[in-house]
């Protein structure tokens, strides 16, 4: 493990096996420098155990950077459950909950891919170290998505200023890839600010319905990244910025909620060479983790959460200015800032 390519001085990596339920899981704690390691729990059919370890190592490091740049008193961690062929079992979720509880708060979990609100509630019956539970959050769903969209909107204002010299989003043309939980709300918020929208979704009916409501244009899921627009906002999948898609972009900036938008570090360089401003995803999409951890930390006043989410815009502006001054790319500057914040 210590020579694993994704190992980055992680503080602990726990391999869990529960004989009774057959649970196989990994909890990676990358850093507790700023506080308890927070990061979601993912339930996934990994091709190999090593793929699960790589995911846990990579994602927990990403959470350290994201939480630090969001100004949260939290470190970075991640849990992954190696999904068994027979599907999810309640006993496994309970066993993971007991293991998280035994960590005494060093790791705080939250919902991620493959976990449902019911699974999170099952974890919450075993341990208090679960963020984003509906019951504790005081709202109907506990969903982080609205806060994520609010944070992306704040980020897009900063992007419009830095890339287009615009004060506000009125008249700015944004092409949205994916109008699900985050992208759908973002589209409505942008519409309210007077932005011009082109929408695309793998589910064309979803894009069509929303476009009809907002008077927006639509494009096919295959073409949205190449639509001529001021800003392209990826809100669907990771790795959408790559050697194939970047040459086709016709925008001044890329900024959206999707995690891990750059397929490789070289793709950041490709964007920069084309003069396209990139908003580091782990800064702009932090609204959700701000929302769920605020509630976990017991300061869920809406004003408190809103001010932290709004700070995403100021943080991006700071990163863009530093990148310009230092002649480096925004994601390089952001990573260096985050590493300083976690004492690395």
Query: Which residues are designated catalytic?
Result: 78
Write the interaction track for ligand NAI spanning residues 191-210; mark x where CB under 6 A is met and - where it is not. Answer: ---------xxxx--x----
State in Å, rounded, how far the first CA of the chain is from the last one.
20
**Quick one: which of 177, 198, 245, 308 contacts ligand NAI (CB under 6 A)?**
177
Question: Measured between alpha carbons, how far is 219 from 174 in angstroms, rounded to an integer?
Answer: 12
Q: How many positions of this chain bind ligand NAI (CB under 6 A)?
A: 24
Neighbours of 18 (CB within 10 A): 16
Nearer to ligand NAI (CB atom), residue 92 or residue 235: 235
Regarding 189 and contact with ligand NAI (CB under 6 A), the answer is no
Sole residue written with tokens 């939480």 = 67
Strand ranges inside the chain, DSSP E: 12-18, 23-31, 37-38, 41-44, 75-82, 107-108, 173-177, 196-200, 217-218, 231-234, 253-254, 277-278
Of 57, 11, 28, 75, the C-alpha closest to 338 is 75
Neighbours of 136 (CB within 10 A): 16
Contact 237, 262 (CB under 8 A): no
Of 185, 138, 67, the C-alpha closest to 301 is 138
Regarding 186 and contact with ligand NAI (CB under 6 A), the answer is no
Nearer to ligand NAI (CB atom), residue 95 or residue 316: 316
Write the interaction track for ligand NAI spanning residues 220-249; mark x where CB under 6 A is met and - where it is not. Answer: -x-------------xxx------------
Regarding 218 and contact with ligand NAI (CB under 6 A), the answer is no
Regarding 183 and contact with ligand NAI (CB under 6 A), the answer is yes
Residue 208: half-sphere exposure toward Cβ, Cα within 13 Å: 5
CB of 111 to ligand NAI, least distance (A): 9
Of 330, 311, 310, 337, the C-alpha closest to 163 is 330
Nearer to ligand NAI (CB atom), residue 201 or residue 230: 201
Write the interaction track for ligand NAI spanning residues 96-135; mark x where CB under 6 A is met and - where it is not. Answer: ----------------------------------------
CB of 329 to ligand NAI, least distance (A): 21
Contact 147, 286 (CB under 8 A): no
Nearer to ligand NAI (CB atom), residue 67 or residue 285: 285
Regarding 169 and contact with ligand NAI (CB under 6 A), the answer is no
Which among 54-62, 121-129, 142-150, 208-216 is the span making contact with ligand NAI, rule CB under 6 A? Answer: 142-150
Regarding 259 and contact with ligand NAI (CB under 6 A), the answer is yes
**Quick one: which of 91, 105, 180, 204 contacts ligand NAI (CB under 6 A)?**
180
Neighbours of 310 (CB within 10 A): 15
Nearest residue to ligand NAI, by Cβ distance, number only: 180
CB of 115 to ligand NAI, least distance (A): 12
| Strand, helix or coil for residue 282 | helix
Instruction: Give the burial string for 148-180 (b: 16+ CB within 10 Å, else e).
Output: bbbbbbbbbbbbbbbbbeeeebeebbbbbbbbb
Binding positions for ligand NAI, rule: CB under 6 A: 144-145, 148, 177-183, 200-203, 206, 221, 235-237, 257-259, 285, 288
């Amino acid at each position: 493990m210590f020579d694993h390519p994704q190992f980055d001085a992680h503080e602990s990596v726990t391999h869990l096996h529960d004989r009774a339920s057959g649970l196989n899981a990994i909890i990676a704690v990358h850093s507790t420098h700023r506080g308890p390691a927070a990061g979601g729990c993912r339930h996934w059919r990994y091709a190999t155990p090593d793929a699960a370890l790589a995911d846990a190592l990579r994602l927990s490091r990403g959470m350290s950077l994201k939480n630090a740049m969001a100004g949260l008193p939290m470190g970075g961690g991640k849990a992954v459950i190696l999904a068994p062929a027979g599907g999810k079992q309640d006993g496994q979720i309970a066993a993971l909950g007991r293991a998280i509880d035994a960590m005494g708060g060093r790791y705080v979990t939250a919902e991620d891919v493959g976990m449902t609100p019911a699974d999170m509630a099952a974890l919450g019956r075993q341990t208090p170290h679960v963020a984003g539970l509906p019951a504790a959050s005081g709202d109907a769903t506990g969903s982080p998505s609205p806060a994520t969209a609010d944070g992306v909107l704040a980020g897009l204002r900063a992007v419009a200023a830095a890339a287009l010299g615009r004060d506000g989003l009125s008249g700015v043309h944004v092409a949205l890839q994916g109008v699900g939980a985050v992208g759908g709300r973002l589209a409505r918020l942008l519409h309210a600010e007077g932005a011009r929208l082109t929408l695309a979704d793998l589910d064309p009916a979803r894009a069509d319905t929303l476009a009809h409501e907002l008077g927006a244009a639509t494009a096919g899921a295959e073409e949205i990244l190449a639509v001529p627009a001021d800003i392209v906002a990826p809100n669907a999948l990771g790795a959408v910025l790559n050697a194939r898609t970047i040459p086709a972009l016709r925008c001044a900036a890329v900024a959206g909620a999707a995690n891990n938008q750059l397929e490789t570090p070289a793709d950041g360089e490709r964007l920069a060479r084309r003069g396209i401003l990139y908003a580091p995803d782990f800064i702009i999409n932090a609204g959700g983790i701000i929302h769920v951890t605020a509630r976990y930390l017991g300061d869920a006043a809406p004003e408190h959460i809103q001010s932290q989410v709004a700070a995403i815009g100021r943080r991006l502006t700071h990163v863009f200015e530093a990148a310009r001054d230092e002649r480096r790319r925004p994601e390089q500057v952001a990573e260096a800032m985050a590493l300083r914040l976690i004492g690395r």
